[in-house]
Structure 1
Amino acid sequence: MKIAMFSMGSESSKRIIEALKEHFDEVTHFDVRRVEMRIGKGKPELFYEEKELNEEFDCVYLKSSFRYAVMLKALASYYDGHAYMPIAPEAFTIVHDKVYTHISLEKAGVKTPETYITPSVKEAKNSLDKLNFPIILKIPGGTHGKGVMFAESPAAAAGILDTLSELRQAVMLQAYIETGGRDLRAIVVGDKVVATMARKAAKNEKRANVHAGGTTEAVELDSHAKKMAVKAAKALKAEICAVDILESVKGPLVLEANISPGLQGIMAATKRDIPTDIAKFLAKETKEFLNEKKSEEHAEKLIEETNEAQQIITKLDFRGDRVLLPEVVSKMASLKEDQEVILKISKGKVELEKS
C-alpha cells in the first residue's frame, strides 16, 4: 500500500511518518508549502517543486497549519474518491471556522457552551443582556487560543466590541464556563479516544492552551465524554483530530476541534504512542477502502459482461444529511445529473429507478 502525507514537516509529522513506514509499503512526504495546483485545462493538475505530481496513492493524509487551509482543501478535493482520506474536504472549511464548527456540532447533538452569533457589532451589543457575565468573545478564525477575549462586565464587553468594529472583525459571544482554568484535549482516531490530557491555564491567564503557557497532565475520560468526543469528530468530518472539552456542572461541553494537532505535549503527558495509533488506523481503513474499490470494479465488470443486476456492499458516504452514491452505482445505472428518478422508500430499504 502507498500513502502520501502532506504536512510542514513538524516533529509530530515526522513521528507519524516513521510509524507509517511500519504499516505501509511506500511512504512519501510532501511539504505542503511547495505544492501548487493549476486549474483550467479540463482537469486539475498538481505540481510539487514545479514538477507534475500524477502518482497515485492508496491513502492521503493531510496535516498542516490552518494558514494552508485553502491548499489542504484543494488537495482533499483532488484526491477525494481516489484514495482513502481520514479528513474529508469539507472538514477544512468547518474546523477552521468557529461559527461553522459550532453549527455543525449543534446539528449533530453535541453539547457546546451557549453562543451568540450576530451580523454586526451593534447587534452583538444588543445581545449582551442575554448572557450572564463574565463572557468570552471569540474571533471565528483564531487558533492556539488567540482571538479569545475575556469580559467581566457589559461595559468591558462593549469596549472590546468597539475595538473589533474598528478592525472590522467578526465576533462570537460565548458563555464563560468556570472550570478553574482547566480544559481537556482528547485525541480521536476513528471510533476511539486514544489519549486525553488536562490543560491548566497559567496564573492570571483564562486560556488553558499550552501555547498560552498552560501545563498538562494525563487524564481518563468517562465513557460519556469519550462518546461525545467521537461524535464531535464525526460531525466535523474528521476521523483523526483533537477535540477540546470543558467540564461543566451540566456535563462535558465541546469547545472546538483541531484537525492538525501537535502531538508532543499530549504524548509527553500521557506516554501514549499516538503516531502508531494513527498509522495502524490508516492502514486498516486503507485496506477496507481498497477492498471496497475492487468490489465495485468487479461488479461493474460483471454487469458490463452479463447485463444482470449486481449487489454491492459499501459504506454510506454522507454529505451533510444526504447520502452520496458510489461512483460505480452512477456508472452502472447510467445516472446523469438533473435526471428525474423514482425513489421507493420503506423501512430499511431504498429503491431507485429512472422515471
Structure 2
Amino acid sequence: MNKIAGSEEWCVFEDLGIPAVKARVDSGAKTSSLQASNIRYFMRHAQEWVHFEINPLQENRSICIPCEARVVDRRVVRSSIGISEERPVIRTHVTLGPDKFEIELTLASRDTMEYRMLLGREALSGRYLVDPSISFGLQAFSDAEIRQRYASYIKDREGLKIALLASNPNLYSNKRIVEAAQARGHEIVFLNVELAYMKLDASAPEIRYRGGNILGEFDAVIPRIKPAVTFYGCALIRQFDYLGVYCLNSAEAITQSRDKLFASQLFSKHDIHIPITGFAKSPNDTKDLIRMVNGAPLIIKLLESTQGKGVVLAETNKAAESVINAFKSVQTNILVQEFIKEANGQDIRCFVVDGKVVAAMQRQAEKGEFRANIHQGGRASKIKITPEERKLAVKAARILNLSVAGVDIIRSNRGPLLLEVNSSPGLEGIEQATGKDIADIMIRAIERKLKFQPGEVSL
C-alpha cells in the first residue's frame, strides 16, 4: 500500500550533508528540483562534477552549505514563468520519513520561490499518494529539532554583514545608516557604486571592488543610488540579488520609481489619484497639452527628476509653451502637470518602511516662493496624517515594490494626491522634524526580513 505524502514534506540528504530541507510536493512536475547558487562545474577522474551552495532554510541566508555531486545529465527545463534554462542533474539519496531511496535532482536558483526544494512525480511514483489537504504526512520536525539539526552550521558571530551601496559616505543619510547598523552590532561596509564591477558568468558570477577584491558573504545590501548612476547601480543590485544577497530595494523597484512616466501610469492603473498629468511628443500638441492640465500655472518635470531638480514652474501659458518646446527641441522627455494652488506651498513626505508609514513631515515653502508640487527647499515640521493619506502612501510604495520609500503627497480640494515616490529618500529632514530614528527602523526591517536572531536558527 502506498504511503500518504502531504503538500509539503521534510527531506534529508545525508550524501550532500543537508540535515533537512522543506519541499513542496508537486505531482505536476516530472523532476525534483533543489535550490542552488554559485554553481561551478569541474572534472574529477574524467567525469563532470558540480560544486554548488544551498541555503536550505527559507528566508535564511546565514546558513550556507557547500555541496559536490557528479553530474549525470544536463537538461533544458522550463520554469513556472515560462523561461527555459539548462540545469545540471545530479543523483543522490533522499530520506523521507522511514524511507531512503535515490532520486534525480535538477539544480536551480529558487531564491524567489517560497520553498527551497520541489519534490516531483518521479520521486513519488510507486511510493506515495499525495493528499494536498495535509502537511508533513511522512515526517514532521519541530522548530527545536530543526535548530538542533543545524546547530553546527550556525556562524559564530554577533551580527549581520551589510553593504551600503551609495556614492558619498559623508552624506547625513549614509552616516546615520552606518551608525544605526553598528549600534545594533552589525558589520557594515560602505561601497562606492562606481568603484564596483561585476563578472557575468553562469557558473561563477562575481562582484569585485577597486583593486580586484571579490565582494562576498554579504547578508544584505542597502542601495542608495543617485539618479546619475541609476542604470549602473541597478545592474549591481541585480548582481547582488543573483548572488543570493537580500537587497532592501530591488533594481526593478528603483528603476520604476525613477521613471516618472511609467510610475504615473502604474499609479493611474491602480486607482491612485495624482495631479492631472500630460505627456506628448510633438510640439504641435503643446497648446492642447497645456489646456489638458487646466492651463498655467503648471509644472514641467523631467522624467527622471528627483528632489525638485529638473522641475520648472511656468506661471503663464506663454511661458509654459516656451519651456515645453525648448525641452522638446533637445529631445528631452518631460511631463506636464497641473499646479495645485490650494496646497498653499505645502506638501507631505511620508517615510514608508516595510509596508508601514513610520514617520511623516510637512514641508512648507518659504514666504514668496512656490512649493505645491515643486517640492524644493522649504521648512519641515512634524504632521499627523489622515488614515486616507497613510493608506495612499503605503499603497504607492507597494505598487512599486519598494521596501523603503519617501512618498510625497499633496492636499487638494479633491482629496490627497500622490506627487511622486522616491526610492532613496533622505533621512536628515524627516529625522530632525519628527525625532524618529529612521535609520534604526531600516536596519530592524532587514533583521526581520532575514529573521535574524543572534545564536538562533531562523525557521
Shared fold (TM-score, shorter chain, > 0.5) = yes
The structural deviation recorded for 1:216 is 1.1
Q: Is the 8 A contact 1:24 1:283 kept in 2?
A: no
Q: Is the 8 A contact 1:2 1:24 kept in 2?
A: no
> How far, CA to CA, are the matches of 1:20 and 1:263 in structure 2?
15
Higher helix share: 1
> How far, CA to CA, are the matches of 1:174 and 1:277 in structure 2?
34
Aligned twin of 2:402: 238
Aligned twin of 1:142: 305
Aligned twin of 1:116: 278
Aligned twin of 1:7: 166
The structural deviation recorded for 1:138 is 1.3
Unaligned runs of 5+ in 1: 296-355
Helix, strand or coil for the counterpart of 1:113? coil
> How far, CA to CA, are the matches of 1:212 and 1:244 in structure 2?
12
Q: Is 1:203 paired with 2:367?
A: yes
> How far, CA to CA, are the matches of 1:33 and 1:139 in structure 2?
24
Larger Cα-atom Rg = 2
> How far, CA to CA, are the matches of 1:52 and 1:108 in structure 2?
44
Cα deviations across residues 152-190 of structure 1 (Å, max 9, x unaligned)? 333222121222233322221111112111111111011
The structural deviation recorded for 1:42 is 6.4
1:1-355 maps to which residues of 2 (within 5 A)? 1-8=160-167, 9=169, 10-23=171-184, 25-39=186-200, 44-80=205-241, 82-134=244-296, 135-178=298-341, 179-207=343-371, 212-287=376-451
> How far, CA to CA, are the matches of 2:259 and 2:178 in structure 1?
28
Q: Is the 8 A contact 2:344 2:372 kept in 1?
A: no
The structural deviation recorded for 1:78 is 0.9
> How far, CA to CA, are the matches of 1:264 and 1:211 in structure 2?
16
The structural deviation recorded for 1:68 is 1.7
| Structure 1 residues 38 and 206, CA gap change in structure 2 (3 angstroms) | farther
> How far, CA to CA, are the matches of 1:208 and 1:116 in structure 2?
18
> How far, CA to CA, are the matches of 2:201 and 2:287 in structure 1?
46
Counterpart of 1:102, as a letter, is: S
The structural deviation recorded for 1:75 is 1.8
Aligned twin of 1:345: none
The structural deviation recorded for 1:211 is 8.2
Higher mean alpha-carbon deviation, 212-221 vs 21-30, is at 21-30
> How far, CA to CA, are the matches of 2:279 and 2:313 in structure 1?
17
Q: Is the 8 A contact 1:136 1:175 kept in 2?
A: yes
> How far, CA to CA, are the matches of 1:16 and 1:210 in structure 2?
28
* Seq. identity, %: 33
> How far, CA to CA, are the matches of 2:449 and 2:392 in structure 1?
22
> How far, CA to CA, are the matches of 2:200 and 2:371 in structure 1?
42
Unaligned runs of 5+ in 2: 1-159
| Structure 1 residues 104 and 142, CA gap change in structure 2 (3 angstroms) | same
Counterpart of 2:249, as a letter, is: I
Query: How many residues are treated as equivalent by the alignment?
Result: 292
> How far, CA to CA, are the matches of 2:230 and 2:325 in structure 1?
29
TM-score normalised according to structure 2 size: 0.59
TM-score normalised according to structure 1 size: 0.75
Q: Is the 8 A contact 1:202 1:212 kept in 2?
A: no
